[in-house]
Amino acid sequence: MHNPDSDPPNKTSGPHEQLELLRAEVRKAVAAKDPDGSATQIAAHLPVARVAVDVDPSHLDRLWDYAVPQVLDQEAQPGVRVRVRFNNQLTNGYLWDRVERSEFTGVLTPLKSVISAEQVLSPQIGGLSRAVADAYAGTLMDVLRVAVPPRHAVTEKRPVPETADPPPKLPEAECDREAWAPYEGGGALLDALADGQRPRAVWTALPGLDWTRPLAAAAYATLAGGRGVILLVPDGRDVGRLDQALTDGFGRADLHVALTADLGPAERYRRWLSLLRGQVRCVVGTRAAVYAPVADLGLIAIWDDGDPAYAERVAPYPHAREVLTLRAHRERAAALIGGHNVTAEGAQLIARRWARPVAALRARVNEHRASVRTADSDHGRDAAAVAARLPTAAWRAAREGLQNGPVLVQTPRAGYVPSLSCVRCREPAICVHCRGPLKLAARNETAICKWCAKQAGHWQCPRCGSDRFRARSIGVARGAEELGRAFPGVPVLVSSGSKILRTVGSQPALVVATPGAEPVAKDGYATVLLLDGDLLLGLPILRANEQAMRRWLAAAALARSASQGGQVVIAAEPTAAATQALLRWDPAGFARRELADRAELGYPPAARLAELTGTYAGVTELIALAELPDKAEVLGPNELQEPAPDGEGKLHRALVRAAAADGRALAAGLKAAQGVRTARSAPDFVRIRIDPVDLA
């Protein structure tokens, strides 16, 4: 491998002659710019640096060879950030490795400079990033941009003792074994972690219990065994909860760090460096923390792995759970996948015996869960129930619950009135400018378009001419208003969007929240209402049933136990598989059924699926160029409603399906084809996503 700025390769008679030629040419290349001769010598030992250069095109996704000047010999160590000349431009990169000779026989361009002597890219993270890029048909640098945070020079240059202090020792306290006592195999899991073993488990958490305690106990056991820990949670709110649980469980706050996006570049980089330098061995964070440079990794755990927040939003779009399994395998670490729900991927790991289930016995589950029942589909005759748009059973359950404590109302839609229709003909109300759907943001405001944000001040229905709207659906804000009218004198709290409540007290109140924004009640909720469940089940995505189950369980788990009067009422189709599983509180059984259904239909995780999105010309060209597995199936391309980036026509999408065993070959074939297109400077960009979680 060589640098594209170098001359055509020259053949040499042997490695010694090649090395002498390299040294001579480097001296010649830099002599004009280095009159005093300080940089004309190349390193005597390992004179070739292999560099991952920060460039985007797929066909350049490789390591490039550079010569190491003698003056940079000490600083140019594997893992440091370097500055190199690439395509006649100065570009950043990471020094991947140093070797004795290059496969290229021509002149290697010397490294321009070492940006920092900090070895920020460890071999473990570098190898993991390469594996993730290959699995998701992406490039190494795309993954490294997420894995390694941007440099903060001031923070990095702060003095560090020559002999860094070892990680603080655990306090003289025992591990919180009671946190795992309700689960079959929980004690054995802690013992294995403390003994330095690498157990792998899919953990189904009990409702009504604090899920942060078992995670903190597992982290304690691993640290006590002398190894490091990574704990992943979906969002910053969960980071805060687990951060506090670790502080309480460890008895001190300096044994771990929390990594979140809102820390700011300086503080985030400082904490990341403390992990890199071995000063701290435990980290809790969101999806990017899966790449945290924890030395001697003993446990990597993820909570609520079905949360869509774990899917990376930038290329190559990896899922944190899949990165977790890759890293656990590569570094021989324990893996713990937990949640109130069990995903199809979790069920598959158990079926393949990659992991073992850790769950409570049915009798214990029944002790902790609330009673669950369905609501009648029709609104009752009670005027208050009609005003609140509640089924009769739900309204009565809320009224009973308010006598004993707070009531949680989960509604799937954010906003005020997220969709409108004509009051006369019931046709969806659309914008006259872009044909997008209209919505109301608040009471007495003018309708606006969801797409172009223009007001619809003089709207008229194109079908019947009416100029009045009706609500096709209501959001959390409108729902809170109607509940307030139905239950006068009861406080109504809203948790949604940017205003998410963390906790609520034990006093009677109506807490209206969107999925994922439910606050924790001090003594549990007396009643939990799960409204508009059919909307979640009817979402046009592959994982609609699984996501509905996950959201329902997360809210229902906040209710008091049935022995304490806790009840859950769900307004959804009673015969739906997810509804029935909730009534039985059987997430593992539902996951097994979901996995079987997907295997029969050929969907992930039973198969690998690549989504190709772009212009029609780009998608068809990529498919034609790709060397796909023999039994791969191409579906499409089909036209989407989104306009193409150039404004000409619509985007198109094709799906390429292959057996799970052919997943690597599928990704490699698509990546190679993308490389051919970028080498040709093809004008039509195509996005590749492997097993997208939002596949519709």
Q: What's the average pLDDT block by block, 10 residues per block, for the chain (696 residues)?
A: 42 48 51 46 92 94 95 95 94 96 88 95 97 97 96 87 61 79 95 95 97 96 94 96 94 92 91 95 97 96 97 96 98 98 97 97 96 74 60 89 95 75 78 76 73 78 80 72 86 90 95 94 96 88 94 97 96 94 97 96 95 94 95 93 72 95 96 95 92 90
Number of H helices, E strands in the chain: 20, 28
pLDDT at 431: 80
> What string of DSSP letters covers 433-502?
TT-PBEEBSSTTPPPEETTT--B-TT---TTT----EEEEE--HHHHHHHHHHHSTTS-EEEEBTTB--S
Report whether 582 contacts 570 (CB < 8 A).
Answer: yes
Three-state SS for 349? Answer: helix
CA atoms of 500 and 494, how far apart (whole Å):
8
Three-state SS for 369? Answer: coil
- Helix (H) / strand (E) element for 267: namely helix 265-276
Residue 163 has φ and ψ, to the nearest 5°, of -110, 100
DSSP state of 422: E
Quote the tokens at residue 569: 């009422």
Which residues, 6 or more positions from 622, have their beta carbon under 8 angstroms from its beta carbon? 612, 614, 670, 673, 674, 677, 686, 688
**257: closest CA among 273, 233, 234?**
273
CA atoms of 290 and 231, how far apart (whole Å):
8
pLDDT at 481: 82
CA atoms of 544 and 696, how far apart (whole Å):
9
> What string of DSSP letters covers 179-231?
GGTTSBTHHHHHHHHHTT---EEEEEPPTTS-THHHHHHHHHHHHHTT-EEEE
**77: closest CA among 26, 128, 39, 115?**
115
pLDDT at 185: 94
> Given CA atoms 637, 638, 639, 644 in this order, what sign does their dihedral have?
negative
Report whether 501 contacts 493 (CB < 8 A).
Answer: yes
Three-state SS for 344? Answer: helix
- What domains can you pick out in the chain, each with its CATH number? 1-119 (no CATH), 177-365 (3.40.50.300), 369-595 (no CATH), 607-690 (3.30.70)
Residue 95 CA to chain centroid, in angstroms?
28
Residue 460 has φ and ψ, to the nearest 5°, of -135, 140
CA atoms of 529 and 526, how far apart (whole Å):
10
Residue 430 has φ and ψ, to the nearest 5°, of -125, 155
Residue 575 CA to chain centroid, in angstroms?
32
The amino acid present at 164, given as its one-letter code, is A
Within 10 A of 145 (CB to CB), how many other CB atoms are there?
A: 15
pLDDT at 452: 77
Quote the tokens at residue 109: 């361009």
CA atoms of 183 and 594, how far apart (whole Å):
24
pTM above 0.75, yes or no: yes
Within 10 A of 522 (CB to CB), how many other CB atoms are there?
A: 12
CA atoms of 281 and 168, how far apart (whole Å):
9
Residue 40 burial (10 A CB sphere; 0-12, 13-18, 19+): buried
pLDDT at 417: 67
DSSP state of 403: T
Quote the tokens at residue 219: 């982290």
CA atoms of 12 and 508, how far apart (whole Å):
85
Within 10 A of 523 (CB to CB), how many other CB atoms are there?
A: 12
| Strand 282-285 relative to strand 228-232, pairing | parallel
Quote the tokens at residue 29: 């290349």
Quote the tokens at residue 291: 């790449």
CA atoms of 357 and 210, how far apart (whole Å):
19
**650 DSSP β-pair partners:** 643
CA atoms of 566 and 527, how far apart (whole Å):
6
